[in-house]
Structure 1
Amino acid sequence: MTDFTPFEDLLRGHAGLLEDTAHDRWVRAQALFEERAYREAAVLLKELLSEVDDVGHELTDVRLLLARSLYHSAQLDGAIRVATELLEHDPNEPYAHLLVGRALQRKGRRDEAQPHLRLAELLGGYQI
C-alpha cells in the first residue's frame, strides 16, 4: 500500500480515483484552495456547479469559492462573471462585490470597480 500526501490524495480524488460524492468534491475543492491550487479548485467547483441543481443559498458558498479561485488564478473575466451571477442571487453578498471590484481594478477598469468596492465596504466592512 502506497502512502500519499494529503495533496496527492486531493489530486487522486479529482482524477476519479477516490469516492466522488458532491460533498467529497466540495471538501476537496476547499482543500485545493487552501493549498493554493486555485486552477484545480476552479475546475472541480465548475464541475460541481454544473451537476448540482440550484437550490438557492446553499450554492452561494460554492459560487463564492469558485469566484475566489478564478480571481486568485488570474482568470479575471471568469471571476467577474461568477461573482456577478452570485450577486444576481444575493445582491447583498459583500465578498462578491469585493471580488468584482478587485478584478475590475486588476483589469484597469477602476471607475467600474468603485461602486462594487464601496458596497463591499458598506455591506461587509471590507476596506477599499
Structure 2
Amino acid sequence: MDEMTLEAYERGQLFFDSGDFITAAQILEGVVEAAPDTVAPRLLLARSYYHSAQLQRAESALRGVIDRAPTEAYAHLMLGRTLQRLSRRDEARPFLKMAAAMSGDPDYELMAMLA
C-alpha cells in the first residue's frame, strides 16, 4: 500500500471510529480500489457497510475478504451476522459455525448455536 493509500485508510478508520460509517465507506472504497488484495481495508469497508445498513454491499465485501483470507474468522462471523440481518438464516449458519471453530471464542460459538 503506498503512502497516499495508507493515509486514506487511516482517515477511513478515523471516520469509522467516530461512528460516521457512510463517510468511512466512501473513503475506504477508494482504498480497496487502490489496494484490492489488501485484506484490512476490505474488512473495514465491510464493517462500514454493515454498520450503515448497506447489507448487500457488506455481504459482497465480506465474500471478497473470505476469498482472499479464508482463515479470517471475523469475516466469517460478520458474513454470518450480515446474512442473518438479511433474513437468510440458513445461509448464515455455516459461516457462524466456521467462525466459532476457527476462533475458539465462546461468544462466536453462542452465536452459531443460536443461528
TM-score, normalization: structure 1?
0.77
Residue 50 of structure 1, CA deviation: 1.2
Choose 1 or 2 for highest CA Rg.
1
2:11 to 20, 24, 28: 28
Gaps of 5+ in 1: 1-19
Which stretches of structure 1, 4 residues or more, deviate above 3 A after TM superposition? Answer: none
1:91-102 matches, within 5 Å, as 91-102=70-81
AA partner of residue 94 (structure 2)? P
1:23-74 deviation per Cα after TM superposition (whole angstroms, max 9, x unaligned):
211111111000010011011000111123x4x4xx1111110110000000
- 2 CA distance for matches of 1:103 and 1:30? 20
Report the number of matched residues: 105
- 1 CA distance for matches of 2:72 and 2:40? 11
2:94 to 112, 115, 127: 115
What secondary structure does 2:87 align onto? coil
Q: CA RMSD in A?
A: 1.4
Gaps of 5+ in 2: none
AA partner of residue 31 (structure 2)? L
The answer for the alignment partner of 2:20 in structure 1 is 37
Share of identical aligned residues, percent? 37
- 2 CA distance for matches of 1:123 and 1:40? 32
TM-score, normalization: structure 2?
0.85
